């Protein structure tokens, strides 16, 4: 299944083209097999998805052995390590996922600082750092990826490649800048985060229009940062010695003040994205997804805002006497934003 | 979802609003399944945490004991060790109970429960938020 047996009694490098093709297709075939295992189980129940992930992990361990064989593509090891990182991440083994992604990054950078493989691995490492609440590390990886991408665009630009020069403001750069803004916001560097999101929003409004989903996503991000600033300035502080009633009032006042401060932005992203969703439940799922992410990063004011918006949608769809209304799984979603699938 | 809302409200110190959310969540689970469903234990563990936030330590301990007992019976009764979500709920109850014990004078017992959480996470491949 993995690789054809290496030719025996032959000097290294003396394999024929036909043999090289056999080794190459063997690595690619087994890698694709592992990815298919992941894909086919991803839509199943959580339990089946985990079983599929473990099976894919075993397959990828075997693929690793083929990745250094002659004939395997230069990025085979990096790609296989990213696959393993993905499997670790989906099964909750985040430190192992980080180690796999870092190895993938090292391998990919050795073959090109701004190669697609390196940029993908950088994003993977950054996302997994964010999931582990290692926000400064996530910031460093996003910053490095952005620098590599912008350097690549500059090099292409100096050669007269107009299309590539435009990459400096491509959707890839803008998306990375929003990821960087997330890492800054989660470190409470709210002014820096706000400035970056404003910049991305202006670029998207200019290139995509005000109603494009990516523009609306940036509107949400800006609203999120501004709410975080209000919560940071009005929220409960440790050691204030407040009685319970005062604490309760302050917590709820903080939520109201945050919502008031961003009302017009909220009307914009909520109206726009809701119109793009097919059916109200799809809209509710979007809100729940955002709310769960906020909760996983201990951004509880944001989580409350989003879950309160989602709640009536779920109540209408499932009634207030349903499991769906009562409960959602509390497992962190560990699927990196940049995936191999 | 209303249980998750309660958790975030609890973290913000909005205890009455959190209590209301947990009551709604528990009522929904009881109506949809039964009072001894594992999901009920998950919500009750949050209610126990709420009691401890309000300073009612004995009520919190009693409720933690009863919901842990419920979920452990479910795990024992289940074929082949139970389904995945049952282990997630078991782990969640253990985590909250362990943190409570560490904060209220039984550090070694609490540490044992948190170790058990780590074992469940490693065995079944998930991570508690």
Over residues A147-188, the pLDDT tens digits come to: 988 888 777 665 555 554 555 458 889 999 999 999 999 999
Q: CA torsion sign, A115 to A120 to A121 to A122?
A: positive
ipTM metric: 0.89
What does the block give as tokens for A86? 């993905």
A-interface mutation test, from B8, B39, B128, most A Cβ less than 10 A away: B8
Say how far apart CA A231 and CA A251 lie, in whole Å. Answer: 9
Give the distance from CA A327 to its chain's centroid. 24
Chain A closest-CA separation from residue B8 CA (Å)? 5
Q: Which of A173, A155, A176 is nearest to A164 (CA)?
A: A155
Task: With CB atoms and an 8 Å threshold, state whether A330 touches B4.
Answer: yes
Over residues A58-72, the pLDDT tens digits come to: 777 777 777 777 777
Across the A:B interface, residue pairs with CB atoms under 8 Å apart total 133
The confidence score (pLDDT) of residue A114 equals 78
CB count, 10 Å around CB of A235? Answer: 19
Say how far apart CA B94 and CA B121 lie, in whole Å. Answer: 12
Q: Residue A135 pLDDT > 90, yes or no?
A: yes
Task: Name chain A contacts of B28, Cβ cutoff 8 Å.
Answer: 320-323, 325-327
Task: With CB atoms and an 8 Å threshold, state whether A252 touches B124.
Answer: no
pLDDT along chain B (129 residues), means of 10: 93 92 94 87 95 94 95 80 79 95 92 91 73
What does the block give as tokens for A250? 């302050």
What does the block give as tokens for A306? 């989003």
- Identify the closest residue of chain A to B28 by CA–CA distance: A321
Least confident of A82-91, A280-289, A322-331: A322-331
Task: Name chain A contacts of B88, Cβ cutoff 8 Å.
Answer: 329-331
- Identify the closest residue of chain B to A329 by CA–CA distance: B85
Helix-then-strand count for chain A, H and E: 15, 0
Task: With CB atoms and an 8 Å threshold, state whether B13 touches A250.
Answer: yes
Over residues A293-319, the pLDDT tens digits come to: 999 888 998 999 999 999 999 888 888
CB count, 10 Å around CB of A261? Answer: 17
Domains and CATH numbers, chain A: 17-151 (1.25.40.10)
Q: How many residues are listed for chain B in this entry?
A: 129
Q: Which of A322, A248, A247, A244 is nearest to A281 (CA)?
A: A322
The pTM for the full model equals 0.80
Task: With CB atoms and an 8 Å threshold, state whether A91 touches B32.
Answer: no
Query: Does A212 or B33 have the greater pLDDT score?
Result: A212
What does the block give as tokens for A308? 């309160």
Domains and CATH numbers, chain B: 2-124 (1.25.40.10)
A226 pLDDT band (50/70/90 cuts)? very high
The confidence score (pLDDT) of residue A3 equals 29
Say how far apart CA A174 and CA A180 lie, in whole Å. Answer: 10
A6 pLDDT band (50/70/90 cuts)? very low
Looking at the partner chain, which of A53, A288, A304 has a beta carbon nearest the beta carbon of B9? Answer: A304
Chain A closest-CA separation from residue B62 CA (Å)? 23
CB count, 10 Å around CB of A243? Answer: 8
CB count, 10 Å around CB of A78? Answer: 26
The confidence score (pLDDT) of residue B122 equals 76
Chain B residues within 8 Å of chain A (Cβ atoms): 1-5, 7-9, 11-17, 24-29, 31-33, 39, 42-43, 54, 83-85, 88, 92, 121-122, 124-129
Looking at the partner chain, which of A236, A304, A326 has a beta carbon nearest the beta carbon of B25? Answer: A326
Chain B closest-CA separation from residue A33 CA (Å)? 22
What does the block give as tokens for A264? 């017009």
DSSP state of A337: S
Q: Residue A336 pLDDT > 50, yes or no?
A: no
Burial class (CB in 10 A: 0-12, 13-18, 19+), B35: exposed
The confidence score (pLDDT) of residue A240 equals 57
Query: Does A243 or A219 have the greater pLDDT score?
Result: A219
């Amino acid at each position: 299944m993995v690789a054809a047996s290496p030719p025996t009694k032959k000097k290294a490098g003396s394999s024929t083209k036909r043999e090289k093709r056999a080794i190459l297709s063997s690595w690619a075939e087994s890698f694709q097999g592992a990815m298919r295992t992941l894909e086919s189980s991803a839509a199943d129940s959580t339990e089946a998805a985990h079983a599929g992930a473990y099976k894919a992990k075993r397959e990828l361990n075997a693929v690793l052995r083929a990745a250094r064989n002659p004939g395997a593509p230069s990025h085979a090891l990096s790609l296989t390590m990213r696959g393993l990182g993905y499997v670790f991440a989906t099964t909750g083994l985040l430190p192992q996922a980080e180690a796999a992604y870092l190895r993938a990054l090292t391998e990919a950078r050795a073959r090109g600082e701004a190669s697609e493989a390196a940029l993908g691995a950088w994003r993977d490492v950054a996302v997994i750092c964010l999931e582990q609440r290692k926000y400064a590390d996530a910031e460093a990886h996003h910053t490095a990826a952005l620098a590599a991408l912008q350097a690549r665009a500059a090099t292409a630009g100096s050669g007269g490649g107009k299309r590539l020069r435009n990459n400096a403001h491509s959707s890839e750069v803008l998306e990375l800048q929003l990821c960087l803004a997330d890492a800054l916001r989660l470190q409470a560097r709210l002014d820096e985060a706000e400035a970056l999101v404003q910049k991305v929003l202006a670029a998207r409004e200019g290139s995509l229009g005000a109603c494009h989903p990516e523009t609306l996503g940036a509107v949400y991000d800006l609203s999120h940062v501004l709410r975080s600033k209000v919560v940071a300035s009005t929220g409960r502080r440790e050691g204030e010695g407040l009685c319970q009633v005062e604490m309760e009032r302050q917590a709820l006042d903080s939520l109201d003040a945050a919502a008031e401060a961003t009302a017009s932005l909220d009307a914009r992203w909520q109206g726009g994205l809701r119109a793009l969703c097919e059916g109200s439940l799809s809209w509710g799922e979007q809100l729940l997804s955002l709310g769960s992410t906020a909760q996983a990063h201990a951004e509880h004011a944001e989580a409350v805002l989003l879950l309160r918006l989602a709640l009536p949608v779920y109540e209408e769809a499932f009634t207030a006497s349903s499991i769906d209304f009562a409960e959602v799984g509390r497992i962190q979603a560990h699927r990196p934003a940049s995936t191999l699938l | 979802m209303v249980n998750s809302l309660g958790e975030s409200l609890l973290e913000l110190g909005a205890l009455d609003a959190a209590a209301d959310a947990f009551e709604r969540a528990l009522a929904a689970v009881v109506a949809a399944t039964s009072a001894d469903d594992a999901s009920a234990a998950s919500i009750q563990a949050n209610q126990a945490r709420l009691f401890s936030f309000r300073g009612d330590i004995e009520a919190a301990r009693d409720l933690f004991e009863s919901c842990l007992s419920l979920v452990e019976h479910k795990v024992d009764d289940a074929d082949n060790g139970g389904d995945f979500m049952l282990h997630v709920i078991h782990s969640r109850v253990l985590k909250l109970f362990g943190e409570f014990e560490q904060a209220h004078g039984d550090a070694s017992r609490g540490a044992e429960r948190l170790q058990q959480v780590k074992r469940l996470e490693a065995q079944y491949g998930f991570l508690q938020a």
